Amino acid sequence: MEAKKTVLISGGAGYIGSHTAVELIGAGYDVVVIDNLSNSEEASVEGVRRITGRDIPFEIVDTCDMAALRSVFAKYDFDTVIHFAAFKAVGESVAEPLKYYANNLVSFMNIVEMMKEFGRPNVLFSSSATVYGDAETLPVTELTPRKPATSPYGNTKQMAEDILRDCCAAYAGLYGIALRYFNPVGAHPSALIGELPRGVPNNLVPFVTQTAAGVRECLSIFGDDYDTPDGTCLRDYIDIVDLACAHVAAVRRMTEGKMEGKFEIFNVGTGHPVSVLELVTTFEKVNGLKLNYRMAPRRAGDVPAVWADTSRANEVLGWKAECSLEDTLRSAWEWEKRVRGL
Ligand code: NAD
Ligand code: UDP
């Protein structure tokens, strides 16, 4: 029997979900998008429609609402769900842990419950490099031990990975993949979709682009006294389109029945560490502008360095990051300019 080619994308109006929808459609899949728009706008679904020329079904649904979710499962025929829907602000999760445990875990357990009830097999879960914490060896492989989470957000990622692993072991028809994203950055080359943080951005690249656009006065570089080549933190910045393509590769592996076990984990990064300062100077160079920045104290909870060993994703998924940091930072700026009407 031919594998069903429809994928349900929860949180599909968000940053990673919208780019993944574009790449899935480009690869021949149909998508259904659900989102409660708690951290996104319907305009991003419209952006996906414009890029792909396809009339994508979109429903405003809260994945914590089991009855609403059940209606979606009853209405659409799909074998695979990619579950992006979650809150993601680390600092806010420390201040409001219940908000994070409730949204991120209930929504995920509801998805798994519905998969079971409707006999749908494949769940792809958005995990994070945060599960590695301050790792003892770098780069991290999927076998590098996870460290106790330092925030409720990080804890929801660890718990959801475990929930998926246990459910896949227990339920005969259920298969899971967790993708551990490193630092997703950039925007679609069309500049029709991109990251749309609400309020003051927590993440580096949106803060950089908003500073360049004059929305923020000055970028603070959090810490220049780390034990790294230039004293600033090292991260693995993965282009958003490359990241979206990793989802297509994972979906293909699931829908074509190629998984080796019932639950698999993959790192999704470039495999290259980049310092905060290096990112800032690259942004300035490729976009031909000067950024107002200053050195500032370390930010609580930051690990000095983390980057991915991507061999497993390269070999098993047949996926590799291709976009250069330069092109990614150009796309991030093009998107910001479009958002600001510059
Ligand atoms: P995002 O906020 O842009 O997208 C998440 C989407 O989920 C939003 O559109 C939001 O409205 C929706 N949502 C949240 N709770 C919902 C609910 N209960 N019901 C329905 N929709 C809901 O974030 P993103 O950057 O696209 O992240 C997607 C996933 O990837 C999240 O699970 C996030 O934790 C994970 N992740 C993100 C990063 C990153 O740096 N962006 C890194 C690692 C992991
Ligand atoms: N960072 C910074 N200034 C900012 C935001 C982030 O110097 O305004 C640094 C942060 O300390 C970290 C890196 O940029 O070293 C990436 O931070 P981000 O929040 O984007 O991702 P994280 O790796 O923390 O998930």
Find the angle CA(216)-CA(278)-CA(40) to the nearest 5 degrees. 45
pLDDT in tens, 232-288: 999 999 999 999 999 999 999 999 999 999 999 999 999 999 999 999 999 999 999
Considering 100, 153, 175, 226, which one is annotated as catalytic? Answer: 153
- For atom 5 of ligand 2, the residue with the nearest CA is 204
Q: Nearest to residue 38, comparing CAs of 63, 4, 67, 3?
A: 63
Report field, pTM of the whole predicted structure over 0.75: yes
User: CB within 8 A of 10, min separation 6: which ones?
Assistant: 17, 34, 35, 63, 81, 82, 83, 84, 85, 107, 111
Beta bridge partners, 264, equal 177
Residue 199 to residue 19: CA distance in whole angstroms = 22
Question: Among all chains, which residue has been given the structure tokens 């994508």?
Answer: 56
Mean model confidence pLDDT for the chain: 97
Is 207 a pocket residue for ligand 2 (Cβ < 6 Å)? yes
DSSP E strands in 61-182: the ranges are: 80-83, 122-128, 175-181
Beta bridge partners, 183, equal 237
153 is catalytic: yes
Q: Which of 35, 71, 105, 151 to mutate to test the pocket of ligand 1 (most atoms within 8 A of CB)?
A: 35
Cα 224 to ligand 1 centroid, rounded to whole Å? 30
How would residue 207 be classed by pLDDT, with cut points 50, 70 and 90? very high
